[in-house]
Amino acid sequence: MLALPAIEPAGSWHAVVVAIALLGELLSVVFVYRVLVRGGSPASTLLWMVVILAAPWIGLLLYYLLPRRLQLRRLRRMRTRGARVRGWRSRDATAAAAEPARPGLASLLAGTDGFGLVAGNELTWLPTGEQFLAAATAAILGARRHVHCVVYIFRPDAAGLQFLALLTRASRNGTAVRLLYDAIGSFGLEAAHLAPLRAAGGRAESFMPLLWRRRPFTVNLRNHRKLLVVDGEVAFLGGRNIGNEYFTDRTSDQRVWLDAMLGLRGPVVDRLQDVFVEDWCTATEEVLADTFTLPQAVGADSVGIVCSGPDREESDLWFAVVQAIGEAEHSIELNSPYLLLPSTLLFALQLAAARGVAVCVATNGQPTEAAILYHAQRSHYRKLLAAGIQVFESIDEYNHAKVLVVDGKTAVIGSANMDLRSAHLNFEIAAVVIDAPRFVSEVLATLAARRQRFRRISRADLPSKPLSRALDALCGLLSPIL
């Protein structure tokens, strides 16, 4: 009798498909609940809900690959353990350096994780790459205990290799060197470049690589901070990464790179050391317990340190920026390479202008900015100009400085751009300098000199053709992912 081949029942495949679909629907309900209870902007929450419910498996994949926060439970346990090891001696010891609470911005800082406004510091304005490199080199070569550096971009070019040689030399001299670089921002930095430093006893770790062991594919969350702390006594922060353009202030024979760094000495450096210890713990799960040495008061400047990032429930940095703008009485100077303003910040600037405050914003022009970024930021110009806000664009220079100055006496200087990514996704840091007219006058002088080479935007410069306006608006819609 002729044997017929066995035919697998079609119903079994149908059952598998139905099971997968039902599982997707069940998981989508669970994740929609998570989206709802975690909060966020109504538009973002609604968008995630629609995507997850409409296409469960695709939506869940995107939600996993594009996180907005870290799982904080384990990280908090690690940091609590580190706090017990240190016995909070640094924070207890610096309590005397904290200023009494004052109304407004100073009071806000007292309620943040930055531990308030700290008196007794000396600030150094470092607007050029040459000044920063000279100061950083002297600090690293003079280190006695440790050198801690966290940076977003570390290029293995001439300037990067020069900086690595400095760190290697310090390590050979017995200094504990710890370098933390962002895995995505420093993509070209390889083990071969770091081998001499590691051979000399130094440590070099990447921050959240693509296959991070605690949460793979965390590509959306990047450490954008630029921070150097030496011996817990001197520190530098601002907008400069490690690479040729950041040290030479040039991107070509014709194009100038504009940036800025802040040097700090005094008790506030202890707070910056804390930030590095937290970042190191996040990246390595290692608690540094022996790095705290309280610096003595060396000056008269008052400084607060504020941070933002997906490892924090609230954004102290952006609270401080909006509060500083809200306190403005006379003038606001804002410098940012990318002007993809979050709605809260845009509203704060419009409100300040409506109160009669002279608001001036400086950013990059079309010759120097990537096309999609330029059109996205230009979508804000009409609202800014309608509010009476002055807008300036660079012509040939690239403006990478991240600086806010209010009333000629208060400044916010750090790593954060005025865009949604810095506001919600990146690890950022800034120093808030309050009532320091001498220091702030130096900052304003630099900004004024640079602005003379910019062009002021008027309504006549805005696009009038429907297609051009539509292109700006379309690129503006992409602001959250740029």
Q: What one-character-per-residue DSSP string does 257-278 give?
A: EE--EEEEESTTHHHHHHHHHH
Residue 304 domain flag: no
pLDDT at 80: 56
Domain boundary among 299, 327, 357: 299
Instruction: Decide: 316 and 444 in contact? Cβ < 8 Å.
Output: no
What's the pLDDT at 40?
61
At residue 48, the pLDDT reads 62
Q: Give the chain's length.
A: 482
Q: Is position 61 within any domain?
A: no
Instruction: Quote the number of domains for the chain.
Output: 2
Is residue 380 in a domain? yes
Are the beta carbons of 436 and 409 closer than 8 angstroms?
Answer: yes
Residue 447 lies in a domain: yes
Q: Residue 104: its pLDDT value, please?
A: 82
Are 265 and 323 members of one domain?
A: no
The Cα–Cα gap between 478 and 482 comes to 6
428 assigned to some structural domain: yes
Q: What is the largest CA-CA distance in the chain?
A: 104
Measure the CA–CA gap between 202 and 250, rounded to whole angstroms: 30
* Measured distance CA(240)–CA(203) in Å, rounded: 21
Q: Is residue 337 part of a domain?
A: yes
* Same domain? 445 vs 345: yes
Structure tokens at 402: 């991240």
Which of 248, 265, 299 terminates a domain? The answer is 299
Q: Assess if residue 321 is contained within a domain.
A: yes
| 111 assigned to some structural domain | no
Domain of 451, in residue numbers = 316-481
Tell me if 56 sits within 8 A of 28, measured CB to CB.
yes
Domain identity same for 389 and 414: yes
- Cα angle value 140/146/147 (rounded, 5°): 45
Domain check: are 335 and 414 in the same one? Answer: yes
User: How many whole angstroms separate alpha carbon 288 and alpha carbon 147?
Assistant: 13
**Do 334 and 205 sit in the same domain of this protein?**
no
Task: List the chain residues with pLDDT less than 50.
Answer: 1, 84-96
The Cα 179–Cα 170 span in angstroms is 12
Residues 249 and 330 in one domain: no
Same domain, 444 and 354: yes
Residues 289 and 220 in one domain: yes
